[in-house]
């Protein structure tokens, strides 16, 4: 897909299709009125005939409009202007791509007129790209023949322009941000959707190396021996039952300039390439979905790609502990006590609470970079899905400033998070009779919070936040697949930090 802006009169544009909006309550947008005038009332006729009522997502295609250089006009119903929000905007972009006609290869959107409350033109440009790119995404690399998805195929070749009344650098910036975010999301979705037998810890490491080659990052991949030498007994305890070797991935993007690698933002992503639960085996139903348990890691890679494409003036280090969680004769058992890199010991009361066991060592490790902030991203708890569903990611932080920045980034990028507590009072639940802490709290009791409280013990004195993306990183049901979240939130956060 290609994107650009066009600051010319709509009638002079020579495209396969020009898309103009029609609000249910306000009627024609400015471009629609102009098209109506030039065509001698083609839009009024569509309305009079009952074909266009403004219903959100309805599309009427007018072929060979007179007075216009474009081959078609797509009149797009936008619904009521009073409830035209982020999702409505995206839905209308998607509907236009679907409804404009199979023969359309170049499409011009007069979408700066599709005003969303609280959003500016730059946001419109960015959201146009994100919605369009999402409709061109498909996970088909493991199908033996090209599947029937002709529409995604066509969308991938589509040239899309955003019509503006004057040259506006904010629009171009919005398009570029959208493209970088979309590519980061596509990478995260692709990795998330790959099955555990393909997307192994070593595969993730290979993807990190490839990213480093293509985007001028530094990749370092530690193997079992090196992980042992660092004393990551907690991380290693999770991989005990698996024959796939663990990998500890470190990716550095140095955009701030200057000597060294000062004050990086650290992103730490959970990279469990399959979570069976281990000896504390999960029930069989929908267990396939635990291939998504590396979506935190995928979002780190996706965000680094976006940041590198945007050439942000900031240093970022991405850290991914990657392994499988499987049962076997050599697997960690409930009751086993392991020693983390920090020296703190952990009684593993449930081997299915493995995410925190790999993250705690990564959180300890990353402090050697003296990070300005540490953000970990993890499909950490089913309890977070119970609490927040698939709408908001759970945000936990002991730093109000950092939490506020992340919440704001989430709203700005339509990739929202909701703050949850990490109060001391919950720490009691992690007491162990035999080790410094247990890896689980009380059953059915603030599970997402106690998981965050566990992590908090490894980032004392650090500016730290944790995103639990168990509910937001993928969708179940018929549209099963990874969502690419929270790449937009993280990228927006870093854009703002870079200034
Ligand atoms: N990967 C899961 C969390 C998860 C569950 C993500 C469902 C998405 C959907 C995690 O490793 C896990 O199993 N957590 C346990 C923790 C419990 C044993 C304290 C959970 O949430 O049940
Ligand atoms: Mn688990
Ligand atoms: Zn897990």
3-state secondary structure of 93: helix
CB 75 within 8 A of CB 52: yes
Q: Is the dihedral of CA 391, 393, 397, 401 positive or negative?
A: negative
Q: Which ligand is nearest to the CA of 380?
A: 1
Q: Point out the residues that are catalytic.
A: 282, 356
Q: What integer pLDDT is reported at residue 97 of this predicted model?
A: 98
**Nearest to 488, CA basis, from 59, 131, 76:** 131
Structure tokens given for 185: 């999301």
DSSP run (H or E) holding 18: strand 17-23
Runs of H (alpha helix) within 293-436: 295-309, 355-366, 382-388, 400-412
**Nearest to 467, CA basis, from 480, 446, 451, 481:** 451
Question: What value, to the nearest 5°, has the Cα angle with vertex 439 and ends 454 and 228?
Answer: 90
Long-range contacts of 25-30 (CB under 8 A, 24+ apart): 25/54, 25/80, 25/81, 25/82, 26/81, 27/54, 29/78, 29/110, 29/113, 29/114, 30/110, 30/113
CB 335 within 8 A of CB 349: yes
**Nearest to 142, CA basis, from 36, 19, 2, 291:** 291
Runs of H (alpha helix) within 5-61: 30-38, 42-48
Ligand 1 pocket check: which of 274, 291, 350, 352 to mutate, most ligand atoms within 8 Å of Cβ?
352
pTM for this entry: 0.98
Q: What integer pLDDT is reported at residue 147 of this predicted model?
A: 64
Q: What integer pLDDT is reported at residue 148 of this predicted model?
A: 57
Looking up tokens 């449930």, which residue turns up?
350
Looking up tokens 């139903």, which residue turns up?
285
Cα 320 from Cα 377, distance rounded (Å): 10
Measured torsion, CA atoms of residues 241, 317, 290, 342, in degrees rounded to the nearest 10: 40
Looking up tokens 């291939």, which residue turns up?
291
| Cα 432 to ligand 1 centre (Å) | 20
CB 360 within 8 A of CB 234: yes
Mean per-residue pLDDT pooled into runs of 10, the chain (499 residues): 96 97 98 97 97 98 95 98 98 98 97 97 98 94 78 91 94 98 98 98 98 98 98 99 98 95 98 98 97 99 98 98 98 99 99 99 99 99 98 98 98 98 98 98 98 99 99 94 98 98
For 141, counting Cβ atoms within 10 Å of its Cβ (0-12 exposed, 13-18 middle, 19+ buried), the class is exposed
Secondary structure letter of residue 53 according to DSSP: -
Q: Which residues line ligand 1 at a C-beta cut-off of 6 Å?
A: 275, 293, 350, 352-355, 379-383, 385, 440, 447, 470
Structure tokens given for 5: 């802006």
Looking at ligand 1, which residue's alpha carbon is closest to its atom 3?
381
Which residues fall inside 5 Å of ion ligand 2, going by CB?
275, 352, 354
Question: What value, to the nearest 5°, has the Cα angle with vertex 409 and ends 403 and 412?
Answer: 140
């Amino acid at each position: 897909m290609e994107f650009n802006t066009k600051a010319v009169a709509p009638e002079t544009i020579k495209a396969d299709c020009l898309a103009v909006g029609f609000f249910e309550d306000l009627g024609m947008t400015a471009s629609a009125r102009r098209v109506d005038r030039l065509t001698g009332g083609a839009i009024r006729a569509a309305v009079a005939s009952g074909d266009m009522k403004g219903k959100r997502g309805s599309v009427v295609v007018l072929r060979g409009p007179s007075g216009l250089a474009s081959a078609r006009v797509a009149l797009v119903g936008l619904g009521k202007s009073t409830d035209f929000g982020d999702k409505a905007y995206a839905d209308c972009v998607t509907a236009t791509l679907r409804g404009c006609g199979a023969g359309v290869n170049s499409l011009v959107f007069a979408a700066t007129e599709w005003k969303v409350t609280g959003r500016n033109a730059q946001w419109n440009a960015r959201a146009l790209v994100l919605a369009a790119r999402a409709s061109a995404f498909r996970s088909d690399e493991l199908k033996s023949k090209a599947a029937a998805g002709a529409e995604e195929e066509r969308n991938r070749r589509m040239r899309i322009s955003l019509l503006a009344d004057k040259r506006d650098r904010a629009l171009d910036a919005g398009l570029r941000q959208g493209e970088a975010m979309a590519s980061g999301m596509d990478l995260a979705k692709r990795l998330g959707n790959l099955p555990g037998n393909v997307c192994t810890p070593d595969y993730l490491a290979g993807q990190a190396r490839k990213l480093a080659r293509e985007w001028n990052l530094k990749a370092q991949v530690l193997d079992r021996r090196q992980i042992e030498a660092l004393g990551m007994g907690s991380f290693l305890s999770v991989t005990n039952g698996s024959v796939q070797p663990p990998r500890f991935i470190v990716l550095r993007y140095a955009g701030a300039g200057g000597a060294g690698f000062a004050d990086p933002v650290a992103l730490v992503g959970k990279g469990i390439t399959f979570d069976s639960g281990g000896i504390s085996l999960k029930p069989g139903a929908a267990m396939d979905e635990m291939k998504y348990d590396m979506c935190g890691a995928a979002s780190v890679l996706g965000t680094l790609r976006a940041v590198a494409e945007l050439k942000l003036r900031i240093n970022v280090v991405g850290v991914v502990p990657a392994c499988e969680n499987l049962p076997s004769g050599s697997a960690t058992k409930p009751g086993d006590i392991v020693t983390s890199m920090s020296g703190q010991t952990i009684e593993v009361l449930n081997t299915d609470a493995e995410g925190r066991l790999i993250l705690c060592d990564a959180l300890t490790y990353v402090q050697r970079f003296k990070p300005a902030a540490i953000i970990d991203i993890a499909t950490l708890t089913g309890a977070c899905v119970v609490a927040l569903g698939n709408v908001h990611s759970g945000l936990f932080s002991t730093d109000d400033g950092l939490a506020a920045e992340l919440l704001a980034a989430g709203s700005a990028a339509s990739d929202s998070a909701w703050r949850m507590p990490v109060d001391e009072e919950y720490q009691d639940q992690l007491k162990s009779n035999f080790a410094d802490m247990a890896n689980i709290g009380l059953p059915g009791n603030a599970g997402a919070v106690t998981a965050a409280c566990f992590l908090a013990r490894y980032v004392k004195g650090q500016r730290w936040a944790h995103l639990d993306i168990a509910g937001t990183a993928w969708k179940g049901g018929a549209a099963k697949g990874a969502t690419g979240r929270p790449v937009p939130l993280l990228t927006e956060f870093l854009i703002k930090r870079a200034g």
